[in-house]
Copies of this chain bind each other. A is one copy, B any other.
Amino acid sequence: MIKIQQNTLYGEAAARIRDMINEGLLLPGTRIPEKRLCEQFGISRTPLREALKVLASEGMVELLPNRGARVMRLTRQMLEETYSVMGALEGLSGELACRHITEEEIADIQALHYQMMAYYKRKEIRPYFEFNQRIHDAIMLASRNEVLRETHSSLNHRIQRVRYSTSMTDEYWKQAVADHEAMIDCLLDRDGERLGNILREHLRHKLVVAAASGVIDDDLAASS
């Protein structure tokens, strides 16, 4: 969305706050401590407040007039809604990718897949997810739709704090790997409809695991 913001203080501050939220240093539902963050970052309140506007647009925080900003809770409902939307977006990315992808890009995705599989075999979950994400990024890039990529990325920021590793089952992991192999097949066949369906289904599986992880607030608690 925002182009070329990396060398502005507000952009830097937004990124750092986003990281702090994702790493659990700023907990869901809690107030953003403007003064403390300014001291911590060594900047004035102006760029920090601008950063909060950016983060609010991303759905990372909510702005409450005269009461400051609060970290958005990740409720089960919001998670389901977000995954549903992302499913539609990723489905579209799969369809478009099969239309536009090059042989080189397919080969690169295959290479990433083999690297990911190596980590799967070694049960190293953190790098597994890293390569998993890179594969999805590559498919999204192959869609040749920048609006799609940015929209998806914006939603992805919100769920970055979900810790799948705490609720991974062997069954899910096996299914995820099978999904990925089917994705490769679809890319090779340029079967966009099937890839779209697999990506949507893949995200549904992921939602089940995400919903079982520890950062999800009960809906009743969230409305209090």
Contact = CB atoms under 8 A, between A and B. Distances in A.
A17 B184 CA distance: 45
Contacts of A64: 3-4
Contacts of A81: 145-148
Interface centre among A65, A81, A91, by most chain B C-beta atoms within 10 angstroms, is: A81
B56 A1 contact: yes
Given A50-B50, A151-B155, A85 B2 contact: no
Contact of A85 (B53, B59, B148): B148
Q: Within the oligomer, what is the number of copies of this chain?
A: 2
A145 B85 contact: yes
A148 B50 contact: no
Q: Give chain A's interface secondary structure class.
A: helix
Interface residues of A, number: 39
Interface in A103-159: 145-148, 150-151, 155
Interface string A30-71: 000000000000000010011001101111001111000000
A203 interface: no
A145 to B, nearest CB: 5
A10 interface: yes
A50 B65 CA distance: 14
Interface centre among A65, A78, A146, A147, by most chain B C-beta atoms within 10 angstroms, is: A147
7 contacts: A2-B56, A3-B63, A49-B50, A50-B50, A57-B58, A78-B146, A81-B146
